[in-house]
Amino acid sequence: MTAGRFAPSPSGDLHVGNLRTAVLAWLHARRTDREFLVRIEDLDRVQPGAEERQLADLAALGLDWDGAVVRQSERARLYDAALASLAGRGLVYECYCTRREILEAPSAPHEPPGIYRGTCRNLSDAERLAQAAVRPAALRLRSELPDFTIQDELHGTYEGVVDDFVLRRGDGVVAYNLAVVVDDAQQGVDQVVRGEDLLPSAPRQAYLATLLGNQPPTYVHVPVALNTDGQRLAKRDGAVTYQQLRELGVDAMALIAQSLGLAGSTMAELLEEYDPASLPRDPWVFVPPPG
């Protein structure tokens, strides 16, 4: 099986920018004869009722998906197995650094903020014991490469930093970078369409996929939705959810179709028109309707 997917976090209602990305992921999967999956990334920040509302909004737009909805909270066994595999090859180590310490650590001029410089990479047993008495350890990947290159359908060749990123947090929660790689491989996802704000994380995830013996997916990082101030669209920007737009009499599907340069009014009609090569390359500026 080959598949694309949409994987929201149930931290709140989806805004129209999220829904636009979901539509693009569905169109891209269906146009390339792939199945389309929905996965709920609920390892963190779960708002009661958000998952149900998100799925209802997707269905209201006309998105269908193949198979049952998968939830990350039900997949601990898979993540533990991946961690054990990496640890058995000496590719995992304990880290006791706080986020603040990492952000305040000196970095090279060309490095983005927050890059981990390997402070805990070579601690002695005695040093680890001393640190463990202060705070619980996160688990980090012992990366063997400083960077990794991916191919993206919109951005072309993209090279990004691969530091010793977190695989499991100090509170025991599996990190996103591990969970998403394990999930995509296990579900047969070989096409990832998502917002371009996640492009910098793709080299880390692709590298981890290769370490786990998997082929990295095809990436399509699409332009995000912005508000009129040029910032990423958020719920604070007015009527931005499906239900809010509906209450104002705004057709969310028509709005999304227009933002993609398409004229159809249903998912089937959009699919007939959709050409991946003509995908917009610039961010979409959402102007909230009066209300």
Annotated binding residues for ATP, written as ranges, equal 235
Contact 70, 78 (CB under 8 A): no
Kindly give, in sequence order, each residue whose CB lies less than 8 Å from that of residue 243, ignoring residues fewer than 6 positions away.
13, 53, 57
| Alpha-carbon gap, residue 142 to 86, rounded angstroms | 9
| Alpha-carbon gap, residue 218 to 41, rounded angstroms | 20
Annotated binding site: 5-9, 41, 95, 97, 116, 120, 176, 194, 235
| Alpha-carbon gap, residue 195 to 214, rounded angstroms | 23
Q: Which residues are catalytic?
A: 235
| Alpha-carbon gap, residue 123 to 137, rounded angstroms | 12
Name the maximum alpha-carbon separation found in the chain: 66
Annotated binding site for Zn(2+): 95, 97, 116, 120
Annotated binding site for L-glutamate: 5-9, 41, 176, 194
